[in-house]
A and B are shown apart, each in its own frame.
Chain A
Amino acid sequence: MPPAAQLIDATKKYGEIEALRGVTIQIEIGDVVAMLGPNGAGKTTSISLLLGLRKPTSGKALLFGLEPTNLLARSRVGVMLQESGVPTTLKVREIVDLFRSYYPKPMSRERAIAMAGLEEKASALVKELSGGQRQRLYFALAVCGDPDVLFLDEPTVGMDVEGRRSFIERIAEFIKIGRTVVLTTHYLEEADQLAKRVIVIDRGVVIADASPNEIKSKVAGKRVRFKAGSLADKDLQGLPITSSTIADHNVQLLTNQPEAVLRELFRRGIEISDLEVTGADLEDAFISLTSHKAPA
């Protein structure tokens, strides 16, 4: 069986800008993948290539071993895109029915609406929905075809904390029934909560592809925070750290050897206060993976 989605040495140029510089990704059926990266890293471009919305400049994009524009391949895919609109003068149930008609074996309208938690709004016009509800409608449209693979491009962007939490639960529910999910995000805890596999993209290349745990162990495991009266980059020279941020007097270091780092800082006679050492979460892992200024 061909993989659900593949990019094979794909590059993409928009004019002079290289959005992707040779990306190879293979997503198997049943995978739950989070694509992580800062804005402009190439996540949305990768998704666009996989969905056939853009053509690679070189290399290949495949969906179920077919061209992504192939309607057979698309019939197995549900999509939630950033910045896509829907007709505002249709009712929720009408537009769900419309999108259901695009797919060979859609789920029932009631189930799609329930998965998105929009039961109370089924008869409301799209223009009457709040921002969060509209985002949930896009989710209903993405799942209503009962797709084998779900692509979610920044699904929780613009949601408040509570909205995000309940939305993540809805995605988790879809994952539970054994479907493939590919989501892009820069809310890093989302990737940690949902994905079994994290692909980190930065500046158009894949810089890590592993489980959330592996990524955490591969990079800085601990976060050291403190205040220092005066500290320059050169004071940190030679310390076993993967990244450092100095803002005013607040210093944050990522490292796997916090004890050694502290010992060396004390030896160098640097005055510190408000010391805090915590376990790094995926967000820290992510910063140290994409940090370009990390001292050697």
Chain B
Amino acid sequence: MAVLTAARAPIGPMLVRQTWAEFLKLWRVPAFTLTSLFLPVMFYAFIGIGQSSQVISPHVTFGTYFLASMAVYSVANVMIFSFGISVATERGMKMDLLIRATPMPPLIYLLSKCITALFFAALTLVVLFPFAAIAGGVRLDAAVWLTLASRVLLGSIPFIALGFAIGYLSGPNSAVAVINLIYLPTAFASGLFFPKQLLPDFIQRVSPYLPLHFFGQLGWDAIGAPTDGSVTTDWLYLGGYGVVFFLIALWAYRREESRKFS
């Protein structure tokens, strides 16, 4: 008979393995990889390059401004998509059932998904930034590049919670549609694609309360473009949205738990 010892696997290597597996899972889905890495670049090529040298406010060209917009867009896009769709798909395949029966703590699962999403988000910036610099002629101080990158990565965390909530609330087949229905219109309404002045009147009135509006402002402020209100207010609102998204995600997760595992 086997010697019975009470022991658990070390958390560190488990987290590394889980994160690597999460990364491979996403990386091998071309629909996800290509849209996350190259869609923002494509938008930049279509919208940003043509008028990139146009000065829109002192010291800020449209090329730089639109780079900040696309950085925000692509990072939030990764967060919502990678979480929303992978959680919904894994629920659909009952992946979560088998994982639940293993000694892996649920926190490792969550953490590995967050790390992977942040890594992918950083990867989109690694593609977008040089493209904007080379094709769009954007020139910024190293410190500004870093501020922009760190702000959009930090500011993307509330959207992880949103993606998680969508993943638990929608089915594997509807997740993509739900995300597109929520994400694309709010991205437009928050002025990430063209100036808000061009939006219909009622959308202009809603716009300043959208989470992507505050996120966008953080990006635009980072490259020196004028924004409404202070950066502190933007952070506070975004943080508030983060808490709300997190609570919805937690509620959705608990609802699922009590349905499936009680």
Determine if B103 and A102 form an interchain contact, defined as CB atoms under 8 angstroms apart. Answer: yes
B18 near A98: Cβ-Cβ < 8 Å: yes
Task: Render B96-127 as a binary contact track against A, CB cut-off 8 A, 1 for contact.
Answer: 01101111110000000000000000000000
Contacts of B6 in A (CB 8 A): 72
Once the chains are docked, how many angstroms separate the CA of A6 from the CA of B1?
Answer: 19
Q: Which residues of B contact A51 (CB under 8 A)?
A: 101
- CA of A114 to CA of B2, assembled, Å: 20
Q: Does A99 reach chain B (CB closer than 8 Å)?
A: yes
CB distance from A69 to the nearest CB of B (A): 9
For residue B13, which residues in chain A have a CB less than 8 angstroms away from its CB?
101
Which secondary structure dominates where chain B touches chain A?
A: loop
List of B residues within 8 angstroms of A138 by Cβ = 98
Known A-B contacts A72-B6, A74-B101, A178-B1; the reply to A83 vs B21 at CB < 8 A is no
A296 contacts partner chain B, Cβ-Cβ < 8 Å: no
Quick check: A102 and B2 within 8 Å, CB to CB?
Answer: no
Query: Given A79-B98, A83-B94, are A1 and B28 also a contact pair (CB < 8 Å)?
Result: no
Does A123 make an interface contact (CB < 8 A)? no
Q: Which residues of A contact B25 (CB under 8 A)?
A: 87, 89-90
Interface pairs (27), CB distance under 8 Å: A29-B4, A51-B101, A54-B261, A54-B262, A72-B6, A74-B101, A74-B103, A75-B7, A83-B94, A84-B95, A85-B95, A85-B98, A86-B93, A87-B21, A89-B29, A90-B24, A98-B20, A98-B21, A101-B17, A103-B103, A104-B8, A105-B7, A106-B9, A125-B28, A138-B98, A141-B98, A178-B2
Chain B contacts to A: CB under 8 angstroms: 1-2, 4-9, 13-14, 16-18, 20-21, 24-25, 28-29, 90, 93-95, 97-98, 100-105, 261-262
Residues of A within 8 A of B (CB): 1, 29-30, 51-55, 64, 71-72, 74-77, 79, 81, 83-90, 94-95, 97-99, 101-106, 125, 138, 141, 145, 148, 177-179
